[in-house]
Amino acid sequence: MAISFDLTGKRALVTGANTGIGQAIAVALADAGADVALAGRSAPAETLALIAATGRKAVDIRADLSSIAPVQGLVDETVAALGGLDILVNNAGIIRRNDLADFTEEDWDAVVDTNLKTLFFLSQAAARVMMRQASGKIINIASLLSFQGGIRVPSYAAAKSGVAGLTKALANELAPAGVQVNAIAPGYIATNNTAALQADEVRNRQIMERIPTGRWGKPEDIAGAAVFLASPASDYVTGHVLAVDGGWLAR
């Protein structure tokens, strides 16, 4: 039997798809044949154009995912616009940095609400659709800090560790319904969010020395893993957190 990475006829919802990793994933899913709904606070004009060039359909759905308020409407709009929902990619996320002694409740709640609470309730809403059709793929974007503690980012480390645990919990419950739930843990990826680290000569050197492959990752490196986890090729993979990190964790 041929192994298939073909997503023709599939309908995907990708959060935070206007730039970086989210954009690369959305475009890769379209390249593989899926129609894609793009959810976020700002216009994903470039992503829409890139998907249009693939010949697939893309829709822009504005949603502020700092709370769970838009979650059900987001799933309903996706189903209405695309005719269904087969793939959810929970990519939207934020980070706040501060010393432990100075970390505020506001910064804690902002990160945990966006990165973990909204992710769960959006997955719940999508799962209801997927369970009815007895098929679906949920892909969460975790982090190296799902495995490590980091420095000066306690709420981010807590939320991303929670994403790893939640991925396994959802996988256990949804597997009998034919829905696979997995996560991708990106390493150091060259995006706008990491521009300051790349520009810092000392930190950039330290990071590069730790990565066995000797380079920063590209958003496309994450996109390839997402296509695999969204495709029939991964139908027997669930509850897994896939590190795409150039070997960082192995070191």
In a domain, residue 209? The reply is no
Q: What domain range is 162 assigned to?
A: 11-191+219-244
pLDDT range class, residue 1, cuts 50, 70, 90:
low
Element (H, E) at 20: helix 20-31
In a domain, residue 157? The reply is yes
- The tens digit of pLDDT for each residue in 146-175 reads 999 999 999 999 999 999 999 999 999 999
> Does 156 participate in catalysis according to the annotation?
yes
Q: Which candidate in 120, 156, 216, 248 is catalytic? A: 156
> What does the pLDDT read at residue 3?
84
Residue 171 exposure: Cα atoms within 13 Å on the Cβ side: 20
Bridge partners for 14 per DSSP: 38, 89
In a domain, residue 202? The reply is no
- The tens digit of pLDDT for each residue in 167-208 reads 999 999 999 999 999 999 999 999 988 888 899 999 999 999
| Residue 2: pLDDT over 80 | no
Tokens 């990752």 belong to residue: 217
- The tens digit of pLDDT for each residue in 35-71 reads 999 999 999 999 999 999 999 999 999 999 999 999 9
74: which residues sit within 8 A by CB, 6+ positions away? 13, 39, 61, 63, 122, 125
How many residues would you count in the chain? 251
Strands 136-141 and 87-90: parallel
In a domain, residue 5? The reply is no
Domain count, the chain: 1
- Which domain CATH number covers 86? 3.40.50.720
> What SS3 state is found at 9?
coil
- The tens digit of pLDDT for each residue in 108-138 reads 999 999 999 999 999 999 999 999 999 999 9
In a domain, residue 40? The reply is yes
In a domain, residue 41? The reply is yes
In a domain, residue 182? The reply is yes
In a domain, residue 21? The reply is yes
> What does the pLDDT read at residue 121?
98
Average pLDDT of span 13-40:
98
